[in-house]
Amino acid sequence: MNSLHQRLKLRHITVVVEIDRQGSLQKAAESLKISQSAVSKALAEIEAIVGAQLFERLPSGMRPTVYGETLVRHGHLIASDVQRAEAELEALLSGDVGNLSIGIFSPLAWWRALADCIGDFRVHWPRVRLALREGPMEDMLENLDQDLVDVVIGRTASGFGSELYKLDVLQQDAPVFLARQGHPLTMGPKALQDLLEYPWVLPAQPNIVRQQLEFAVRDMGLRFPSDVLSSQVSPVMLRLASQSNSLVLSSQCIAAELCAQYQLQTVQCALPLHIGPLVAITRSDKPPTRAAAAFLRSLGAFLGHDGTQN
């Protein structure tokens, strides 16, 4: 194979990605606003450079070969890098410092320390164009892989993605159950078996914390509750807990905020469970942007060395 970095042009990447997206040469040409012959010529050039067929010509359209899939996957990353560079340059030319996109693991949207830190960052870095995304960790990490976010605030399983990502520990955390104010379980410390008498709201399987909880109950020789509602922590579930005897499994870092908003209380029960710490995740294969580095420094300073809010 000839050296790609010397012969492969950005227009080649654009053509490959668009053929894959559109599924045909004609539609790719229309999308790129060039002639079909120009798309065919560019594809022939790329296949000559790579030394392999990139697409199969089928009656249903163009389908990438294993070589095409590889180039398409990296092509999306290259195109994303170029778009991010264009946006950052545009921001700098207009007098701004740059762009910053933060992915937030959905439950941490209730983490007051994070919200306060973002507000503080906006005050001290007003010329950074800031965008926030929320969602499941899988989606946020996929966005990080695709360069759609600069940093993800969340948690991962121990050792997960150690070669792909750089993880900075922000704060230790622990699981807790929340109950309505005046619930019988809020009257002093309780044992785990006391909680078995009430309905539970737990994350849907597969979930590591839920599995730990099931094993802990069975190791005690007890039966796991049959009245379990599978759901992530959400406004609907929290309102349900505030109006019933249901117990919602949450995390310590957001418990105070949830209790204040939904008139709940923390159940004083030492749960034999472990969850990973809260972390800031960036890609290990590229340095953070100026804005991302500034945010990470600000977040670390705001939380303090031991993860407590200043």
Burial of 78 (C-beta count, 10 Å sphere; 0-12/13-18/19+):
middle
**pLDDT on residue 212:** 92
Helices (H), 52-176: 66-93, 112-124, 137-145
Helices (H), 179-234: 192-195, 208-219
- Residue-wise DSSP of 226-264: S-EEE--S-HHHHHHHHTSS-EEEEEHHHHHHHHHHHTE
Q: CA 87, 92, 95, 100 torsion: positive or negative?
A: positive
Residues of the chain with CATH 1.10.10.10: 4-79
pLDDT at 96: 58
Q: What is this structure's pTM?
A: 0.69
Note the pLDDT of residue 50: 87
Residue 289 is encoded by which pair of tokens?
């942007």
Q: Which residues of the chain have pLDDT under 50?
A: 306-310
Per-residue pLDDT, 161: 55
CATH placement of domain 4-79: 1.10.10.10
Are the CB atoms for 16 and 68 separated by under 8 Å? yes
- CATH 3.40.190.10 boundaries in the chain: 96-171+277-303, 175-266
* Residue tagged 């590889």 (tokens): 70
Q: Decide if 39 contacts 32 (C-beta within 8 A).
A: yes
Give the pLDDT confidence of 199-232 residue by residue, as tens digits: 999 998 888 889 999 999 999 999 998 899 999 8
- Which of 3.30.70.930, 3.40.190.10, 3.90.1720.10, 3.60.9.10 is the CATH number of 175-266? 3.40.190.10
Options 2.40.30.10, 3.30.70.270, 3.40.190.10, 3.30.1490.20; CATH for 96-171+277-303 is 3.40.190.10
Quote the CA–CA distance of 253 and 172 in Å, as a whole number: 9
Helix (H) or strand (E) holding 64: strand 61-64
